[in-house]
Structure 1
Amino acid sequence: MDRFLTPDDLGKALRQDVADGLGTRPRTLPAKWFYDERGSELFEEITRLEEYYPTRREREILAARAPEIAEATGAVTLMELGAGSGEKTRMLLEALGGTLRTYMPVDVSGDFLARAAERIAEDHPGLRVRPVVADHERHLALLPGGERRLVVFLGGTIGNMAPAERVAFLSALRATMNDGDALLLGADLVKDERRLVRAYDDARGVTAEFNRNVLNVLNRELGADFVPERFEHVAVWNPGDEWIEMRLRSVAPQVVRVPAVDLEVEFDEGEEMRTEISAKFRRDRLDAEAGAAGLRIDHWWTDPDGDFSLSLLRPA
């Protein structure tokens, strides 16, 4: 397994993000810290919830379009950013069987990544599976290359970035691409506010547990003394930015200590800290942001209800 992230690298990044995000108001934390082993397991559970449509819709598009994607790209190398369990990618692996030689899953969670890669290697004995532990927002230029690459970024994860961050990320990715390479991008689409909020605030409370789990990460890694039960899960639609915000709301006045960054954080009753944004898209926004990054949308697919999109982008 290639490693561009060590536990020490992750620790430094976490300390910096916590110092920056909790040291000022409004309080924020980056969504990537959700995904320790427990967080990854909880997210897999979320993807199976009735309210959480994105995974189902993306899977429907892949099932219908994987042969078309394979024919359009003829990929020899498949690199998946933020690979997670890699379950949806299996449809692409099957469709690309005639040309594909290397599958390169990239994720920050090394243990979870290793187990997922082992399962895929067992199911595809002729495929070279090369897992890479890296932060796709920081290490794009360092990731291994490959012949005729299809870079896959699924799950609507692009929406966890603010607009300027998205363009910067796509620009950095474009800088690594050759003329024959392509990017398969999953993006959730703007829809009824009530459906969006339900998708991030399910009746069983799995998303609430997932959200609060980030506090367990800070307790374990930074010696913080968060009591997760003292924070309520909140999901709201921001119509101006067209994104969902997940927040944690303090249920009472409290002081939390984070010894690893020498920080005492005072929370007022009702004060919220933002833990995730999940932007929803329209085709014209994706066209504009891709163009700003030197990419063009070559193919555009949605599910029959227009809930979710997959687009195939190439260097402009």
Structure 2
Amino acid sequence: MTVKPSFSDATPVALDTPELAFLADVQDGLAKTQKALSPKYFYDSAGSDLFEAITRLPEYYPTRTEIGILDRSGPEMAALLPARAALVEFGSGSTNKLRRLLRHLDKLAAYVPVDVSGEFLRSQAEVLSGDFPHLRVEPVVADFTRDFDLPESLAGMPRAGFFPGSTIGNFEPSEAEELLRRFGRILGEGAHMIVGVDLVKDAAILERAYDDSAGVTAAFNLNLLTRINRELAGRFDLGAFSHRAVFNAAASRIEMHLVSDGAQEVAIGSETFAFAAGETIHTESSYKYTVETFRALVERAGWTWVQVWTDPEGLFSVHALRQD
């Protein structure tokens, strides 16, 4: 008889009092000359659901394009990963892309989804465990932008990392380099990684992907203010801010902003922040790379670049890395 595991107690990792860290990050970000909020706070339960809706939009090419690459080249990717490995997915979210890879990883020993959204993480782990009853699933509630320990039960297993979705593009290049170093420390010597990376392309394609006609991305962006109001007793008037997405060609990145529609003041905790009409909060950058510029970043971070797979239109790429 197979006993189905319970994920009500997913391995917790100390986040240095998350509420206080959230408040400090928001207050520090809004005190900057260019007001900014970290995109890692997008993903409360509502934000995670909205992002899943974004991935199904006709304008949003990254998800379906990456899935196409995983479907076509999954066997080659799986062949590069060690047998009986523990696969650690950083910022796991939905299991849709993972399932594309799992079908080719019949010798995988364990899957470790890592995410800050504990409720969403546990629900996804429950469903995956039901669909793959012989796969050991060990969810970890953690912020992958900080060091954390993997479960002790994985000791002795070879490690592999999975970081799809071009999430790495949400970090400044120097931060992305440090993030890859951190993943190397967490996974350990001899680790492998599969990483999704969005590619440079026509600005019109990029801007449509981040400012869809149905307004779902706008709702996703504005939900960050809703979360601040709910969790930090903020006083944002959502009707007084608008969503904007623009491609910054010089920096090779899409920028998402929340634009103040008029002069206003917003209280958060003990602080009050003034906004001029047209002033923006920079909520996300999504850097776009060429294969060559991403390979150079990988090698600066101490990984060995192994292989890349792209779609026929050259919209997206998936890279295999190894840590020697």
TM-score, length basis structure 1: 0.95
Question: Which AA in structure 2 matches 1:219?
Answer: N
Match of 1:60 in 2: 68
Question: Which AA in structure 2 matches 1:44?
Answer: E
Q: Percent identity?
A: 44
Question: Which AA in structure 1 matches 2:150?
Answer: L
Match of 1:253 in 2: 263
Question: How many pairs were matched up?
Answer: 311
Match of 1:315 in 2: 323
- Does the aligned pair in 1 maintain the 2:27–2:268 contact within 8 Å? no
> Among residues 250, 275, 279, which one is paired with 1:271 in the alignment?
279
Match of 2:43 in 1: 35
> Among residues 77, 84, 87, which one is paired with 1:69 in the alignment?
77
Match of 1:216 in 2: 226
**Structure 1 residue 172 displacement after superposition:** 1.8
> Among residues 165, 180, 184, which one is paired with 1:170 in the alignment?
180
Question: Which AA in structure 1 matches 2:268?
Answer: V
Question: Which AA in structure 2 matches 1:82?
Answer: G
- Does the aligned pair in 2 maintain the 1:255–1:267 contact within 8 Å? yes
What is the RMSD computed on CA atoms of the aligned residues?
Answer: 1.3
What SS does the corresponding residue of 1:90 show, helix, strand or coil?
helix
- In structure 1, how many angstroms separate the alpha carbons of the residues matched to 2:280 and 2:186? 38
> Among residues 135, 156, 159, which one is paired with 2:166 in the alignment?
156
**Structure 1 residue 81 displacement after superposition:** 0.4
| Cα distance change on mapping 1:36 and 1:176 into 2, 3 Å | closer
- In structure 1, how many angstroms separate the alpha carbons of the residues matched to 2:275 and 2:291? 39
Mind listing any 5+ residue stretches in structure 2 that lack a counterpart? 1-9
- Does the aligned pair in 2 maintain the 1:74–1:96 contact within 8 Å? no
Question: Which AA in structure 1 matches 2:138?
Answer: R
Question: Which AA in structure 2 matches 1:311?
Answer: H
Moved over 4 A (4+): none
**Structure 1 residue 297 displacement after superposition:** 1.2
**Structure 1 residue 181 displacement after superposition:** 1.9
- In structure 2, how many angstroms separate the alpha carbons of the residues matched to 1:179 and 1:168? 16
Pairs within 5 Å for 1:1-316: 1-5=10-14, 9-75=17-83, 76-97=85-106, 99-140=107-148, 142-144=149-151, 145=154, 147-259=157-269, 262-316=270-324
- In structure 1, how many angstroms separate the alpha carbons of the residues matched to 2:23 and 2:293? 34
What SS does the corresponding residue of 1:27 show, helix, strand or coil?
coil
Deviations 1:14-43 (A, max 9, x none): 112112101122100000111110000000
Deviations 1:217-245 (A, max 9, x none): 10011101101111010001111110000
- Does the aligned pair in 2 maintain the 1:187–1:310 contact within 8 Å? yes
- In structure 1, how many angstroms separate the alpha carbons of the residues matched to 2:95 and 2:21? 25
- In structure 2, how many angstroms separate the alpha carbons of the residues matched to 1:231 and 1:178? 44
- Does the aligned pair in 2 maintain the 1:177–1:315 contact within 8 Å? no
TM-score, length basis structure 2: 0.93
Mind listing any 5+ residue stretches in structure 1 that lack a counterpart? none
- In structure 1, how many angstroms separate the alpha carbons of the residues matched to 2:39 and 2:287? 13
Question: Which AA in structure 1 matches 2:123?
Answer: R
